[in-house]
Each structure stands twice: as structure tokens, then as C-alpha cells.
Amino acid sequence: MFFVVFGINNVFAQQISIGFGYGMSNAQMTGLKSVNRTTLANLPFKAKQVENFPSAQEYNFEFNASIFKKYSLGVCYNYFSTGSRISSIDYSGEYRFDNISTNTSYGFINKFSIFEAKAFLIQFTAAFGWYKSKFKLTEVLNLYQTQSNQYENKFESKGMFIKPGIDILYSFKFIKIGLYGSYYSNTENEISLSRNNSLKLVVPNTNHKVKTDWKGFQYGIKFLISSFNSKNK
Amino acid sequence: MKKLFFGLIILLFYSCEYELQDDFYNNIDKDVDKPTATVELNFATDTLYLSYPSYIDFKIEAGNHKFNWVNFYINNIKYGTYYSSTGSFEISPSRYNYTDGTYQIKIEAFSNSGTGSIADCVGSEGFLFTYNWVMVISDDANLSPQIKKICRDNGKLRLDWSMYKSTNFKKYLILKSNTNNDWDTIIRVYDQHTTSAYDPSYIGEEAIYAIRTIAGLTLFGRSLEYKDTVPQLKISNYGDKSFKLKWKSYFSNNVAGYIISEVKKDVYGYNYITTLPATDSTYIFQNGKFGVESELMLTTIPKNTPSYFSDEFNRTQYYSSKCKGIIGKKSFNVGQVYVPNGNSLIYRTSNAIFLYDYNTRKNSDSLIFSNSFQIGSVSPDGNYILGVENSTNFFVYNVSTKTKKNVSFSDITGSLNYYYFMAMANTGVAVLCTTKNYYVYDFVNNNLIASRTDFDYWALYLTISADGKYFSNGYNYFFKIEGNAIVQLPDITNNLYYYNFNPCNPEEVIEYTPNGSIQFINILDRSVSKSIPISCDVIQNIDFKAGKILGSTKSEFKVYDLNSGSLLWSYPTFSQTNFVSYQFQLCKDVIYWYEGYLIYL
């Protein structure tokens, strides 16, 4: 499909852009937060949820070409990572239950210019494609520096995503700088053990299967480099 | 260059994995004191007795501290680790690993420290408590409790048994039987440490006890017999017509009451008399039967009757006591009492004859014998006592002169033939009988008056008229002594029963019809001077001085007025056959029984 688009672009495109984005993203992570709550409640000692999937840095990359005057099409890549920790440290030892979650998305991005005035450009963006999530769950119990128990399990999940958004850009020659905002939504799929897909991550006690939930807003700054086609001249 | 640029971008993305940084530091005081623990074991003693299969139930507590595991050692070899969240641990040594015997066991219990630290909460920090015991593994039968002692205890029967020392105790059952076959559970004890109890049904009877222990398995103890004393009836005369019954219960707490019965004489059974409360221990039994031995029975009624005593016969057999007694005041201990028409009655003992003045009620005279003797007759006026001494002599005692005379048998008949019957008249003349020969002899003058040897039958008994001129041989045949001849008078029987000569009229005899009348009949002309209606079977005797007739039936004594024939008095008795005349003698309102008892009218 990418090559089809490029084929069209070769006929009608007037401009090609490569862009990078950096910003913040939050995610609901409903199922994993439930895992944390239950784990915390089951601990026999006093502990705290010190981190619980906070807003974290988000990176994205896109490559697109204008097909019509106000419409361009391209491919995109998105990377987001967050995590959680249940912690307790006292004189006798320490306990940690860490979860590092990363989400990688790639797909197509559509852009519609909805406002242009001099150097300002406002675009409605709509990305869709596939995502792949990875979860690294690590539980550590160290006692009196004599006993050390560490359990690490890796999980993963795959699915589809859609991300509508808006870019507000300022053009300076062939460079565009601006802000972006979008809402990321994904299909909620079960999370499986990486080394054995038949084993699913469940909420302790209830045994409800945990599903990916990256839904949330993303925002940040965007930097684009554009090139001009000779047909436009 | 462009490719390298994109590659670095992607690598950058991957390297930007989220980093967790925060931690929670929990400040906890780690200085806590070792708590004091309390231990419970499912054993009744400090030594742990185990039978197969059983287990050690170990429970330890120390305030809010939790015990999560224990180590169990047998003879210092670790047997296993046991886990629990409640502080209770069930330890089961395998029956196949250990033979019967004594073992040293140790239990190490580990509690949390109570600080709340991570190590404390996951069971890696705490206090160790160590306990040592001796464990005895033995066969079930050896651990079975046994009844050790059965004894009286303050009005109850106490049973003591050895304690069940092993585990899984549920209850003791105390069983009771009288036959070793039919057992009744009389006591249930649910406390293992309780090793004594009282039999609420025991009142002294013969019984067999056994203990059965329910403890997962059922353990049977050996049976033990015990016999004490049911309340024993004691009887004594109370006045002349009553018995005083006494008894004592050693198990009064278990007694509901008593039943007094009289044992029937003619058939098996009892005549119910009364029921008494448990607090009673005496009873006055009035109007007992005179002239017969009475047997009374005390049946103790327990508050709780074992189920195997299903019928009255069983209960009577085990719970009853019998005692015999004789109504009447103890009187002359003799076999012969003579009531002549004088002031004294005459009785004998083994070596003497006594004259008893029934006015003063004291002995007035006595005649001591050094040889064997037998009273044969007393004259109607009581002045002469005729008898046989040493089987060779007659003796005659003159009461008024207090002189005794001996006459040899051979002096009368020329031989030493024994004289079976004799009758003495007021004159000192007596009629004597040796088998079929009759002799009339004057003991005052030592003169054989008459004799007759042609009779072909023996006399039943001999009676003689007060003047010594007539006699009877007991067959309603009457004879008159004419000179030196004995002449038989015409028969006057008329189917009447002969009683005796009238001591007040020598020519009159007294005869009677059972349940008909007494008639005074002249032996010469058969005229009847007096007829008195009576309703008795036998005339016992007539007290001519008091004017009273004593008669008897099988169930009653009756006293009639000699003149009017009215019934003056009656009293119960019992006899399967009619009494014989003269067994009872009425004399001045006293009835003497030749067995040595008297009652007053």
C-alpha cells in the first residue's frame, strides 16, 4: 500500500515531508493498574504504589507526501514507554514490583489541511495501523542481604490502533515547526507471556485477563522537513 | 548517511525505555521483646501417648504473634516441617516408621517478630520456641482406660478409672450389667480429665462394670465385678403382735423408696404391704400372723433402674432382702405346756419342770431332773404331774406337797415295757397304756387297780375323768373302771370330734363339730347339757376358769365365750393344714404356743 501511495505521489505529489515529534503521552492502562491494586492489597507488609503509569515521553516519526493540494498521505511510527512500581524498603530488606511497558505503533497517516494563512498551517491528522506492546514485570524480594529472590516475566500484545489529531505548524522555508495533539486509541487485546503465548496475564485473585489499554492523549512539538516537487513550479 | 540517520533515530527510540525511580521507605522499629507463648496439646498428660492411628495436635499462641511453621523432631531427627496460618499444627508420625516404645520428641515453633517488617511479614524474621516431650507409642489396647476402683462414697457408688492419655478423645462410657451379656450405658463423661463418676443406679446389688472409651477408635476396658449390700431387712418383735423392721442403705442417694411385702406361704408370690419413702429406715408391721413363721421382704427401689432389669422378677431378685420372724412375745422355750384347771400352768425345759403362776406371772415351783424325763399327763386340777423318767420309771410329783415319787415300770406290769400314753386324774389314779394293754394304777397308794390286755388296737391318746373313774383311748371309746375291771361304755360318737372330759363334771365329755358346735355330753345317758355354736376347725383348749374357748381355723384364732358362745376375739394365722389341738393353749387371756411364744388377747 505504501508503494501504491508513493506511486500516486509520483503522479500528483507536490511535496514530501519527513517529520519528528517529541512530546508527552498518557495512557489509561486499566488492566495493569488493576493488577497493581490487587498485588498491593495482597502484600503482607506495608508497601506503596510509588509510580503508576504516569505521563511519559513519547516519540514519533512520519514520512508523507502531498497527493492533493490539501491532503497528504504517509507512513508513521510511534514509540511510547511508561511504567509502575510497588515499593517497600525497611531495615530487613526491600520489595519491588516493577512494570515497564512500551508500545510501538506503525501505520499510515492522513493529513488534511484545514487552515492556511501565510506561514501558518493547521492540519487534521488521522493515523491508523498496528501496534506491538511489551511488558516487563519484575518482582524483587531481598531480605537481610542474604536472601534474594527475583522473578522477571516478559509479556507482549499486538493489535490495531487509531490516532486522530491536530498539527499546528509554522513554515520557515522548507522547515515546519509546530505543536501536535492527538488521542491514541487501540483495540484491547489480551496480554500473553512472550515465551508461551498460551499463557495470559491475569489479575490476581479474580483471574480476569488483562488487556492492553494505551488509550490517552499525546501532545508535543513537531519538526518537519519538506522538499518541493518541480511540477509545482 | 540517510540510512544511518534513520537507524540512529530508531535506536534512540528503543533506548528511551521508561525508567522507574521512586521507592517507599518504611521506617520500622526493629527492637521488640520476645513474647511469652502458651502451648496446647491434645494430650491429657505431659507424656504424649500415641496409638495407631492418631496425631499430635499442637497449638501455640503468643499474643498477636503468628506461628507459621513448626519443626518436629523424633529422637533429634527432624521428622518434618508443618505449616499453618492459625497456630494449630497437626503432626502425624507414620505408624509404619515407629514401633511401640518411648521416644524423645521436640517441637520448634517459629513466630513472627511482630515488627511489621518485610522479613517479619514473609516469615523470615521472628522468634524460635523449643519444646521437648516424651512420646510413648503403644497399641490401642494398652492405652485403653481400665476401671481401677469401685467403692462406697457418701451414700453413692464411686467408680474410678485410669485416664485415657492419647488423642482424639470423645467420651468415656461406663457400662453396667448383671449377666455380662446385657450392658446398659449408665454414665457418659465427655471430659478426658474426669476419671471418676457415680453410678446413679447402684443400690448395693451384684453388678459388673466396664469402661468403653470413644476416641476415633472404640477402646474396651476389662470388666470388673462388684457386689456390695442391698439394704438388708432385720426383724425384731415389737410388743406381742408386731414386728419392727429395720434396714440400712449404704447407697441412700440412689434410693427412691422401699416396698414392704409379705412372702406368701402357700404359693410363690408376695402380698404387698406398703411403699415407704427413701428417708425411712424402720417400719412397724402390725397384726402379723401368730402361730406361724412370717417372712417379710424389703424391695429397694432405685432412682434409676438399668435397662436390663426389664421385669419385676429381675428387680426383686437383685434388689430384695428377706427376713423371717415369729409374732408373739418370747415365752417358755419348751415343747410342752400344760394348762390345768388350777392356778399354774406347767411347762418343761430340757432338765426341769416349772410351775408358772399365771396370776403373778412368775415361776412358783420347779422340779429338776438329772436323768431324761418326759411329762405324760397333768391332772385336771394341776396337783399331780405324771411322767416317765429314764425310760424305766414313772415319776409322780405332788404339787401341793412338793413331793416326788418314783414307780418302776416292773412294779406295775412285771416288765419294763414302755408306756406310751398315760392320763392322771385329780385323785392320783392314772390310766396307762403299753401298746395294746391298759392299766389303771393308784400312784397315791401304789396299787394296781385294774388292767385289760384284750384290746386289738393302740390308743390314740388317753384322757381320764377328774375323779379317775372313766377314761378314753381317743377313739371316742369310753371306759368305766368297775372294781378291778375295765368296762367299755356304749359308743356315743355321733360323728363328733372328742375333745376331753369336762374337768368340772366327771361324767361329761366335750365333743365338737368343726364349724358347728361344742357339746357337753353325758357319757352314760348321752344327754347334752350344753351346746355352743362355733365356727372353727379345731378346739385348741378351753380355759374353764375364765370361761373361754380357743379355736382355730387355717387362717384365724378365735376365742368364744364358754357360756354364750359369742365370738370374743380373733387373730390371723396361717396353716396349710389344720392345727392340732393343744398346740395353742389359752390361759387367763394369754395364748401360749408350744413353740415358745405368747400373745395377749
Query: What pLDDT shows up at residue A228?
Result: 59
Residues in chain B closer than 8 A to A102 (CB atoms): 17-18
Question: In sequence order, what DSSP letters do the residues of A38-60 get, joined into one string?
Answer: HHHHH-SS--EEEEES--EEEEE
Question: Superfamily for B234-327?
Answer: Immunoglobulins (2.60.40.10)
> What DSSP state is assigned to residue B182?
S
Are B12 and A59 in contact (CB < 8 Å)? yes
Phi/psi for A164 (5° steps) reads -80, 150
Give me B333's grid cell: 422355750
Instruction: With cut-offs at 50, 70 and 90, classify the pLDDT of residue A2.
Output: very low
Query: What pLDDT shows up at residue B25?
Result: 95
Q: How many domains does chain A have?
A: 1
Residues written for chain A: 233
pTM summary value: 0.60
The whole-angstrom separation of Cα B50 and Cα B169 is 12
Q: Is B12 on the interface with A (CB under 8 A)?
A: yes
Query: What pLDDT shows up at residue B3?
Result: 61
Nearest 5°: CA angle at B245, between B207 and B153? Answer: 40
User: Which pairing describes strands B48-50 and B126-137: parallel, antiparallel, or unpaired?
Assistant: parallel
The whole-angstrom separation of Cα B91 and Cα B68 is 14
Name the residue with higher pLDDT: B531 or A2. Answer: B531
Are A92 and B25 in contact (CB < 8 Å)? no
Q: Which residues in chain B are classed under CATH 2.60.40.10?
A: 38-138, 141-227, 234-327
Question: With a cut of 70, which residues of chain B have pLDDT below it?
Answer: 1-15, 52-53, 95-96, 180, 310, 313-314, 333-336, 416, 492-496
Best mutation target among B20, B28, B112 (most A Cβ atoms within 10 Å) is B20
Residue B119, classed as helix, strand or coil, is: helix
User: Which pairing describes strands B421-424 and B429-434: parallel, antiparallel, or unpaired?
Assistant: antiparallel
β-strand partners of B450? B440
Those residues whose C-beta lies under 8 Å from the C-beta of residue B317, and which sit 6 or more positions away, are: none
Distance from CA of B159 to the nearest CA of A (A): 54
The architecture (CATH level 2) of B337-600 comes to 7 Propeller (2.130)
Name the residue with higher pLDDT: B561 or A12. Answer: B561
Instruction: With cut-offs at 50, 70 and 90, classify the pLDDT of residue A167.
Output: very high
The whole-angstrom separation of Cα A64 and Cα A75 is 6
Query: What pLDDT shows up at residue A3?
Result: 45
The whole-angstrom separation of Cα B593 and Cα A9 is 159
Are A91 and B124 in contact (CB < 8 Å)? no
Residues in chain B closer than 8 A to A57 (CB atoms): 16
| Nearest by Cα to B91 from B61, B128, B54 | B54
**CA trace torsion B249, B250, B252, B253 (10° rounding):** -160
Query: What pLDDT shows up at residue A63?
Result: 94
B63 burial (CB, 10 Å; 0-12 / 13-18 / 19+) is exposed
Instruction: Give the C-alpha distances (Å, rounded to integers) separating B334 from B54, B239, B570.
Output: 78, 21, 25
Are A101 and B18 in contact (CB < 8 Å)? yes
Those residues whose C-beta lies under 8 Å from the C-beta of residue A201, and which sit 6 or more positions away, are: A31, A35, A135, A137, A155, A190, A191, A192, A193, A209, A210
Q: Quick check: A31 and A211 in contact, CB under 8 A?
A: yes
Residue A101 neighbours by CB distance under 10 Å: 26
Q: Is B27 on the interface with A (CB under 8 A)?
A: yes
Best mutation target among B15, B26, B27 (most A Cβ atoms within 10 Å) is B26
**SS3 labels along B185-215:** EEEEECCCCCCEEEECCCCCCEEEEEEEEEE
CATH number at residue A110: 2.40.160.20
Residues written for chain B: 601
Residue A91 neighbours by CB distance under 10 Å: 15
Query: What pLDDT shows up at residue A5?
Result: 46
Residue A86 neighbours by CB distance under 10 Å: 23
How does pLDDT run across A24-72, given as a tens digit for each residue? 999 999 999 999 999 999 999 999 999 999 998 999 999 999 888 889 9
Instruction: With cut-offs at 50, 70 and 90, classify the pLDDT of residue A200.
Output: very high
CATH class name, domain B141-227: mainly beta
The architecture (CATH level 2) of B38-138 comes to Sandwich (2.60)
- The answer to whether the bond into B53 is cis (omega within 30° of 0) is yes
Are B16 and A61 in contact (CB < 8 Å)? no
Query: What pLDDT shows up at residue A205?
Result: 87
Query: What pLDDT shows up at residue A231?
Result: 43
The whole-angstrom separation of Cα B164 and Cα B4 is 89
Query: What pLDDT shows up at residue B466?
Result: 92
Residue A2, classed as helix, strand or coil, is: helix
Q: Is B29 on the interface with A (CB under 8 A)?
A: no
Residues of chain A with a CB closer than 8 angstroms to some CB in chain B? 20, 43-48, 50-51, 56-57, 59, 61, 77, 79, 81-85, 87-96, 98, 100-102, 104, 141, 143-144, 147
Range of the domain at A195: 2-232
pLDDT mean over A172-198: 93
Ramachandran region of residue A173, left (φ > 0), alpha (ψ -120 to 50) or beta?
A: left
The whole-angstrom separation of Cα B224 and Cα B222 is 7
Nearest 5°: CA angle at B112, between B111 and B113? Answer: 115
Ramachandran region of residue A53, left (φ > 0), alpha (ψ -120 to 50) or beta?
A: left
Instruction: Give the C-alpha distances (Å, rounded to integers) separating B354 from A119, B332, B395.
Output: 173, 10, 15
The whole-angstrom separation of Cα A24 and Cα B496 is 153
Query: What pLDDT shows up at residue B96?
Result: 66
Instruction: Give the C-alpha distances (Å, rounded to integers) separating B255 from A126, A185, B170, B199, B304.
Output: 105, 94, 31, 12, 8
Question: In sequence order, what DSSP letters do the residues of B308-353 get, joined into one string?
Answer: T--SHHHHHHHHEEEEEEE-SEE----S-EE--SSSEEEEE-SSEE
CA atoms B451, B453, B455, B461: torsion sign: positive
pLDDT mean over A201-210: 92
Are B17 and A88 in contact (CB < 8 Å)? no
Are B124 and A83 in contact (CB < 8 Å)? no
B236 burial (CB, 10 Å; 0-12 / 13-18 / 19+) is exposed
Those residues whose C-beta lies under 8 Å from the C-beta of residue B520, and which sit 6 or more positions away, are: B502, B505, B508, B509, B510, B528, B529, B530, B531
Q: Quick check: B235 and B595 in contact, CB under 8 A?
A: no
Q: Quick check: A15 and A72 in contact, CB under 8 A?
A: yes
The whole-angstrom separation of Cα B329 and Cα B240 is 5
Find the radius of gyration of the CA atoms of chain A: 22
Q: Which helix (H) or strand (E) holds B284?
A: strand B282-286
CA atoms B359, B363, B365, B366: torsion sign: positive
Phi/psi for B305 (5° steps) reads -105, 125
| Nearest by Cα to A32 from A130, A132, A100 | A100
How does pLDDT run across A59-116, given as a tens digit for each residue? 999 999 988 888 999 999 999 999 999 999 999 999 999 999 999 999 999 999 999 8
> What DSSP state is assigned to residue B514?
T
> What DSSP state is assigned to residue A232?
G
How does pLDDT run across B544-563, given as a tens digit for each residue? 888 999 999 999 999 999 88
Residue carrying the nine cell digits 518541480: A230
A179 burial (CB, 10 Å; 0-12 / 13-18 / 19+) is middle
Task: Tell me what the pLDDT averaged over chain B comes to.
Answer: 87
CA atoms B39, B43, B45, B51: torsion sign: negative
Nearest 5°: CA angle at B599, between B595 and B601? Answer: 140
The whole-angstrom separation of Cα B452 and Cα B532 is 36
Has the ipTM of the complex gone over 0.90?
no
